Amino acid sequence: MKAGFHRLRLLWLALLGLGWTTTLSFGAVVVQSSTIDAVTNGYDMAGAFNQSYDETPRPVWNENQPEMADEGTFFGSTAQFNAAKTTPPTVDRIRQVAQQGYDYAVQNPRVPGLNRMELGKDAEIQATRWTRRWAERYGVDLGPGGLQFQVRGANSVPDMVYNPATQTFDFKLTPKAFKPAQHRNFQSDFPGYGIDYIYGP
């Protein structure tokens, strides 16, 4: 009974892991197009929105993550758990902050009445700003030796490049915006770099 429960729990965790991935993986990404439609059609309902496009964005990342209730199951000691909890690779933290920021921004555009093209841009701008501020706050280097934004290659401009981990990120409103030609351009402009696409909710 106990072993069965454990297997079920591991299966559930594995499924959650797939749901969280942002790496290009056609099988793992689920598009909730109804959500996008609702967002793109529902701006006028957000009557309270009267913010300037340049207004300082509100922080959305969660700085008070809840404790894991059962860390002892996965970690041999409290010290091990704390180390794993507080020091995930910076590139993973960047990915997580960017994803959270983009999800929020897509659902909360600063200006009502944006078309899909502008919604994608507005969300990219907001998520980029939040990620930059998060990086500044948590001591992540910015610039050519660290995290850069809108980096020009010969034939592509990825939204974010994290050089220490040789990783690029690009925001896409939906997986439909993935373009094989652009992907190849990222690969040739940034050889050896990984490419992660951060999709909207």
Partner 1 sequence: MNVENLFVNGGSQASVAEIVARCLENSTEQPDWELPSSYSPLLVGDPKRKVAISPETDGWTAIVESKEVVDFGMAKLLADELGGTAVVVQVSDAIGAMGKLIYRHGGIVACAFDENAPDPLNNGRAVLRKESIPFDLLMFREAVQMVGDGWMVKQRP
Q: Which residues bind partner 1 (CB under 8 A)?
A: 52-54, 111-121, 123-124, 150, 155-157, 170-174, 176-182, 185
Distance from C-alpha of 55 to C-alpha of 59, rounded to nearest angstrom: 12
Q: Record the tokens describing residue 65, joined without a space.
A: 């993550």
Q: Least distance in Å: CB of 173 to partner 1?
A: 5
Q: Least distance in Å: CB of 100 to partner 1?
A: 17
* 92-95 own/partner pairs: CB under 8 Å, 24+ apart: 93/138, 94/131, 94/135, 94/140, 94/147, 94/160, 94/162, 94/167, 94/169, 95/22, 95/169, 95/196, 95/198
Q: Least distance in Å: CB of 178 to partner 1?
A: 7
Residue 170 bridge partners (DSSP): 197
Q: Least distance in Å: CB of 171 to partner 1?
A: 6
Pick the closer one to partner 1 by CB: 90 or 101. Answer: 101
Closest CA to 100 of 33, 20, 193, 36: 20
Q: Least distance in Å: CB of 87 to partner 1?
A: 32
The b/e string for 140-169 (b: 16+ C-beta within 10 A; e otherwise) is beeeeeebbbebebeebebbbbbbebebbb
Residue 177 bridge partners (DSSP): none
Pick the closer one to partner 1 by CB: 90 or 193. Answer: 193
Closest CA to 196 of 174, 173, 167: 167
Pick the closer one to partner 1 by CB: 13 or 38. Answer: 38
Pick the closer one to partner 1 by CB: 156 or 167. Answer: 156
Pick the closer one to partner 1 by CB: 62 or 188. Answer: 188
Pick the closer one to partner 1 by CB: 93 or 121. Answer: 121
Q: Least distance in Å: CB of 46 to partner 1?
A: 12
